[in-house]
């Protein structure tokens, strides 16, 4: 490794030392405090007047988050308390802790894996991501961004619900493997001003300023701005280890920065959400056949939306929900190729769309809960271009637009106190793709008040996006495939949920998925060009188990294990980037008299194959975060160590990870041990 | 800022905090459901039921009981000259014999059905699920800035033929429907 890397690791040791000493002395003080604190419980609270009760501080009890999703499914929920306790920095961190999910990072973007599927060229198109009901998947790549490229600061998230299984019967396209609902805090939840600053390894710093309040007359306001800068590491790629290419070291090519703005206003039945984010990341991997270690190689992503919502009750048994939105996504990528000569080639993508939704919830009929609605979306611009910057040569200048219409209905019918039937159907029509109709059927049986079984059947579809159909460029050896068809999935799942006590939950699930016409980025052996194609059939089956236990006093344990097998239905070959085994454990507990909380997670990922037939080894990593919510009046302190045991591990590369000399990456090494210190001041 | 200066700053900060630690020690907090049980007791004390209400002073819980022993501690306490009794229900049909019905957050998906079942009964419904009062529960409990607050759905109280004292209405953070 280079001299810089050595200096850097020395800096780590220093940082470790200073962090440890500061945190330790803090712990000593706090523990002394805890011991000194007088014990004055055993007081009869009913003897106190109400005014006084309203002023007493409480320890919130641990409880299972309430399920608000309409979906009949085995829902996973991550709350703001988890985000704090486990020191989550991005949505990707959150998703890694969810049963059955995994995340791949190629040092440019982060990719969701679920039910054993994480396909090359898939920018998270197969999970529908909703932010307070707004569809985040963009209009060109269909992507939902989860790493530092995400539109939302995780500190503003109140809860994340993952609803596995097809959601097309309500949500239409993209809700293929699941729906991810992100629900943000409101102004009332912030209740004042928050200033947060953090410093982390690899010269990373982040700041956030948030104001939130609900006024007397019911106006709720949240305003927040975040800023993140990371210098990153000098990454070493053994595949490129040659004196001609800087001995395989990508110098200063891991830098990452983003800015985010988020505002929310609500008054009475109306609310308006406005969000904006911009993120720039250097590309260290020479992906798509670039020249390795060129400082110009980077991508930039810009996202924005405006979502106006109306929610009201029309009488006692009819709720109405309407929304009108505008969304924007722009991507720009500079790729450096050696034709020769060495030339900067630029991708420019722009998506603009608007749309609206009208949804009703009726409880007019006894024992029936009916949801029905219509949806319209107009993708006004789906523009993609690719050109050499100097001398200017255009390879692609493609302009498209598309309109989609959806109509759906779902009935939750309580046959008796112990049997529920849930049936849904949605029809989608678009100006571009064939019509799609998707049903979902669930039978839910409560054996006892504490044991529930759910039998689920559903189908979903995903139309190919503009990028998969029309992206073509000679520079990065891509060819278009306008004949690509929508992919379809048919699923069966059996879920069992059992509560041993109020504070102990067990969930088990068995699933079988079959996908027809799965869209995948493949390498055409005839001409060596990258092309998106329908591969015939893919199948997945698996078992998931999860246990969650809460203890008095705020200790929580959640642990899960997933076995899954995803394969090409024709050849029987296991799909790439599909681990057989996933195991996770999250444990958090207060210590030193509730002043500090420790949050620890352990994640195991099984061996995975790469698209070129190699393998990346299995690994276990552990993260540890210590948080003092009230370290001092108004001050919260959080100190985290990620990859505590400095495990060397890697993610599989995708089809596009090769440099200009045709050298393919065998694996993409992930971060070793790193640290973060975060201070948040509230007033 | 280098790591060393950051570390020095942290140590200094800790020392300053150490001087103020008696302030930290003072903030004794109570367990959530002990406090919520005390609120339920107070709600019962500041409510007037019509004469046709169920006899006795039964406080019932439907769904997974979050109180544990905290609610049992109310057993036998006097409310409006009657001795309070605590019951856990297995079906909503039993709610007919209750004065106060606490709907556990575990029943969030069943709420419309449960409320429909007690719609015309003089039963004071209380719940701590999100937005309970807005959804038709008479009193909704919540935690805000580590303190318990409550909201009242006055229309639901009227429908149930229950009169809440003006003291409760004054202390509520919100009363629905808004005037």
Buried b (16+ CB within 10 A) or exposed e, B69-80: ebbebbeebebe
B19 contact A CB<8A: no
| pLDDT at residue B41 in the model | 94
Q: Which of A484-488, A574-578, B14-18 has the lowest mean pLDDT?
A: B14-18
pLDDT(A36) > 50:
no
Q: Is the pLDDT of residue A17 over 60?
A: no
Does B33 fall in a domain? yes
> Is residue B3 scored above 80 in pLDDT?
no
Q: What is the ipTM of this complex?
A: 0.78
Q: What confidence tens digit (pLDDT) does each residue in A591-604 have?
A: 887 789 999 999 99
Which positions ≥6 away from A82 have C-beta within 8 Å? A88, A94, A97, A586, A588, A599
pLDDT per position as a tens digit, A542-559? 999 999 988 877 789 999
Which of A17-21, A625-629, B30-34 is predicted with the least confidence, judged by mean pLDDT?
A17-21
- Compute the nearest-CA separation of B147 from chain A (Å): 5
Average pLDDT over residues A470-488: 82
pLDDT tens for B84-140 read: 999 988 888 888 899 999 999 888 878 888 898 898 899 999 999 988 998 899 999
Q: What is the CA radius of gyration of chain A?
A: 25
Q: Write the pLDDT tens digit of every residue in A288-321.
A: 999 999 999 999 999 999 999 998 878 778 889 9
Instruction: Check CB contact under 8 Å for A18 and B4.
Output: yes
Other Cβ atoms less than 10 A from the Cβ of A600: the count is 18
In whole angstroms, give the CA distance from residue A602 to residue A624: 9
State mean pLDDT over A187-204: 93
Is B70 inside a domain boundary? yes
* Secondary element (H or E) of residue A536: strand A530-550
Pairwise pLDDT comparison (A655 vs A358), residue with the higher score: A358
Segment A262-287 shows an average pLDDT of: 95
Does some domain include residue B43? yes
Query: What rounded mean pLDDT belongs to chain B?
Result: 82
Q: Searching chain A, which residue's CA lies closest to the CA of residue B75?
A: A46
How high is the mean pLDDT of chain A?
87
Strands A615-616 and B163-164, by their bridges, are: unpaired
Q: Please give the pLDDT value at position A544.
A: 95
Residue A26's pLDDT is 41
Position B3 in a domain: no
Query: How far apart are alpha carbons A677 and A201 in whole angstroms?
Result: 9
How sure is the predictor about A15, in pLDDT bands with cuts at 50, 70 and 90?
Answer: very low
Q: What is the chain A residue with the closest CA to B117?
A: A366
Percent of chain A with pLDDT over 70: 91
What pLDDT does residue A231 have?
95
Residue pair B121/B139 in contact (Cβ under 8 Å)? The answer is: no
Query: In the numeric block, which tokens belong to residue A187?
Result: 């102004």
Range of the domain at B151: 8-176
pLDDT value of residue B93:
85
Q: Do B7 and A199 touch (CB under 8 A)?
A: no
Inter-chain CB proximity A633 and B4 less than 8 Å: no
A111 vs A124: CA distance, rounded Å: 6
Residues of B in Cβ contact (< 8 Å) with A499: 64
Contacts of B3 in chain A (CB under 8 A): 11, 14-15, 18
Q: Is the pLDDT of residue B53 over 50?
A: yes
Asked if A595 and A33 touch (Cβ cutoff 8 Å), the reply is yes
Q: Which of A19, A502, A594 comes nearest B64 by C-beta?
A: A502
Chain A residues with CB-CB distance to B145 below 8 A = 191
What's residue A171's pLDDT?
85
- Give residue A408's pLDDT: 92
Distance from CA of B144 to the nearest CA of A (A): 8
Quick check: A50 and B42 CB within 8 A? yes
pLDDT tens for residues A53-105? 888 877 666 566 655 444 577 888 899 999 999 999 999 999 999 999 999 99
Structural domains of chain B, count: 1
Q: Which two tokens stand for residue A339?
A: 């034709």
In whole angstroms, give the CA distance from residue A383 to residue A462. 20
Q: For A74-83, A133-142, A477-486, A576-585, which range has the lowest pLDDT when averaged over its residues?
A: A477-486
Nearest residue in chain A measured CA to CA from B16:
A632
**Distance in Å, alpha carbon of B52 to nearest chain A alpha carbon:** 25
pTM of the model: 0.81
DSSP H or E run through B35: helix B32-45
Least confidently predicted of A75-79, A180-184, A247-251, A314-318:
A314-318
The pLDDT value given to residue A10: 36
Sign of the alpha-carbon dihedral angle for A31, A35, A36, A42: positive
On whether the CB atoms of residues A566 and A574 are closer than 8 A, the answer is: yes
Restricting to B residues 104-143, those with a Cβ less than 8 Å away from any Cβ of A are 105-106, 108-109, 112-113, 116, 129-130, 143
Q: How many CB atoms lie within 10 A of CB B123?
A: 25
- At A445 the pLDDT is 87
Instruction: Answer yes or no: do A61 and B14 touch at CB < 8 A.
Output: no
- pLDDT at position A166 is 85
Identify the weakest region by mean pLDDT among A346-360, B8-22, B71-85.
Answer: B8-22
**What is the pLDDT averaged over residues A565-582?**
92
Spacing of C-alpha A37 from chain mean position? 41
| End-to-end Cα distance, chain A | 47
| Nearest of A322, A377, A359 to residue A138 by alpha carbon | A377
For residue B170, the tally of other CB atoms under 10 A from its CB is 10
Contacts of A625 (CB under 8 A, 6+ apart): A85, A86, A87, A598, A599, A600, A638, A639, A640, A641
pLDDT at B161 over 60: yes
Residues pairing with A182 in the sheet: A131, A160
Q: Has residue B163 been placed in a domain?
A: yes
Greater confidence, B30 or A118?
A118
**How much is the pLDDT for B28?**
52
Q: Is pLDDT at A38 greater than 80 in this prediction?
A: no
State how far the Cα of A251 lies from the Cα of A253, in Å rounded to an integer: 5
Note whether B178 contacts A218, CB cutoff 8 Å: yes
Specify the pLDDT at position A64.
61
Q: Coil, strand or helix: which one is A33?
A: helix
In a domain, B15, yes or no: yes
- Please, are residues A575 and A104 in contact by the beta-carbon 8 Å criterion? no
* pLDDT of the residue at B11: 56
Q: Label residue A465 by pLDDT band (50, 70, 90).
A: confident
Q: What is the CATH number of the domain that holds B35?
A: 3.40.50.2300
| Beta bridge partner(s), residue B86 | B59
- H or E segment to which residue A610 belongs: none
B105 half-sphere exposure, CB direction, 13 A CA radius: 19
What does the pLDDT look like over A618-657, one tens digit per residue? 999 999 999 998 888 899 999 999 999 999 999 999 988 9
- Mean pLDDT for the stretch of residues A180-203: 93
* CA distances in angstroms from B99 to A215, B60, B73, B121, listed in the order given: 34, 8, 18, 9
Please, which residues bridge with residue A104 across strands? A111
Q: Is residue B2 part of a domain?
A: no
Is residue B65 a part of any domain in this protein?
A: yes
């Amino acid at each position: 490794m280079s001299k810089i890397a050595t200096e850097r690791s020395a800096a780590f040791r220093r940082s470790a030392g200073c962090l440890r000493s500061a945190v330790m002395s803090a712990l000593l003080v706090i523990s002394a405090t805890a011991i000194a604190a007088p014990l004055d419980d055993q007081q009869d609270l009913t003897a106190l007047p109400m005014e006084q009760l309203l002023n007493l501080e409480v320890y919130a009890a641990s409880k299972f988050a309430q399920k608000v999703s309409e979906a009949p499914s085995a829902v996973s929920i991550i709350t703001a308390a988890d985000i704090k306790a486990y020191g989550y920095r991005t949505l990707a961190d959150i998703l890694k802790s969810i049963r059955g999910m995994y995340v791949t990072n190629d040092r440019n973007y982060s990719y969701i894996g679920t039910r054993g599927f994480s396909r090359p060229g898939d920018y998270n198109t197969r999970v529908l991501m909703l932010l307070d009901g707004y569809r985040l998947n963009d209009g060109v790549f269909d992507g939902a961004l989860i790493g530092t490229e995400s539109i939302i600061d995780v500190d503003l998230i109140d809860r994340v619900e993952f609803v596995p299984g097809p959601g097309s019967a309500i949500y239409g396209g993209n809700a293929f493997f699941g729906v991810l609902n992100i629900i943000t805090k409101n102004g009332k939840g912030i209740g004042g001003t928050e200033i947060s600053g953090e410093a982390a390894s690899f010269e990373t710093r982040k700041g956030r300023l948030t104001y939130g309040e609900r006024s007397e007359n019911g106006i709720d306001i949240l305003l927040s701005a975040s800023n993140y800068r990371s210098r990153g590491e000098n990454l070493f790629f053994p595949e490129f280890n040659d004196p001609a290419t800087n001995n395989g070291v990508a110098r200063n090519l891991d830098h990452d920065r983003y800015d985010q703005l988020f505002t929310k206003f609500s008054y009475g039945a109306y609310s308006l959400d406005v969000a904006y984010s911009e993120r720039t990341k250097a590309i260290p991997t020479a992906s798509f056949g670039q020249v390795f270690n060129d400082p110009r190689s980077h991508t930039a992503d810009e996202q924005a939306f405006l979502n106006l919502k109306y929610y009201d009750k029309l009488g006692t048994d009819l709720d109405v929900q309407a929304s009108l939105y505008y969304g924007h996504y722009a991507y720009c990528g500079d790729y450096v190729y050696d034709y020769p000569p060495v030339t900067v080639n630029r991708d420019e993508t722009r998506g603009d769309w608007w749309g609206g939704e009208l949804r009703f919830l009726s409880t007019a009929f006894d024992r029936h809960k009916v949801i029905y609605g219509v949806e319209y979306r107009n993708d006004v611009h789906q523009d993609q271009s690719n050109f050499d910057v100097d001398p200017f040569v255009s390879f692609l200048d493609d302009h498209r637009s598309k309109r989609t219409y959806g109509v759906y209905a779902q009935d939750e019918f309580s046959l008796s106190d112990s049997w529920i039937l849930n049936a849904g159907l949605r029809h989608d029509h678009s100006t571009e793709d064939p019509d799609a109709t998707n049903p979902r059927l669930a039978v839910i049986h409560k054996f006892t008040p504490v044991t529930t079984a759910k039998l689920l059947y559903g189908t979903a579809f995903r139309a190919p996006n503009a990028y998969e159909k029309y992206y073509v460029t000679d520079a990065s050896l891509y060819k278009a495939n306008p004949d690509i068809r929508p992919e379809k999935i048919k699923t069966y799942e059996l879920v069992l949920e059992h509560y041993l006590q109020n504070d102990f939950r067990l969930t088990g699930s068995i699933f079988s998925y079959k996908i027809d016409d799965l869209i995948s980025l493949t390498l055409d052996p005839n001409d060596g060009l990258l092309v998106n194609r329908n591969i015939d059939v893919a199948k997945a089956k698996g078992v998931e188990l999860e246990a969650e236990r809460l203890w008095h006093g705020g200790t929580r344990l959640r642990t899960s294990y997933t076995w899954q097998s995803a394969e090409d239905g024709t050849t029987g070959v296991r799909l790439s980037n599909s681990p057989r085994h996933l195991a996770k454990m999250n444990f958090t507990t207060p210590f030193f008299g509730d002043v500090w909380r420790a949050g620890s997670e352990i994640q195991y990922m099984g061996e995975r194959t790469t698209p070129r037939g190699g393998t990346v080894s299995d690994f276990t990593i552990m993260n540890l975060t210590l948080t003092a919510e009230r370290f001092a009046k108004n001050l919260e302190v959080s100190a985290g160590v990620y990859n505590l045991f400095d495990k060397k591990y890697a993610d599989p590369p995708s089809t596009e990870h090769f440099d200009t000399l045709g050298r393919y990456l065998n694996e993409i090494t992930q971060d070793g041990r790193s640290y973060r210190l975060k201070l948040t001041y509230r007033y | 800022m280098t790591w060393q200066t950051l570390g020095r700053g942290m140590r200094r900060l800790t020392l300053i905090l150490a001087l103020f630690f008696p302030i930290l020690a003072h903030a004794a907090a109570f367990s959530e459901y002990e406090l919520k049980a005390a609120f339920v007791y107070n709600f019962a004390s500041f409510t007037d039921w019509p004469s046709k209400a169920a006899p006795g002073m039964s406080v019932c819980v439907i769904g997974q009981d979050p109180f544990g022993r905290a609610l049992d501690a109310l057993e036998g306490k006097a409310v409006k000259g009657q001795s309070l009794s605590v019951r856990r229900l297995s079906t909503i049909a039993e709610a007919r014999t209750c004065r106060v019905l606490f709907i556990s957050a575990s029943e969030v998906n069943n709420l419309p059905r449960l409320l429909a079942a007690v719609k015309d009964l003089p039963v004071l419904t209380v719940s701590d699920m999100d937005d309970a009062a807005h959804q038709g529960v008479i009193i909704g409990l919540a935690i805000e800035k580590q303190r318990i607050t409550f909201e009242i759905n006055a229309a639901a109280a009227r429908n149930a033929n229950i009169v809440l004292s003006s003291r409760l209405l004054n202390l509520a953070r919100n009363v629905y429907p808004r005037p």
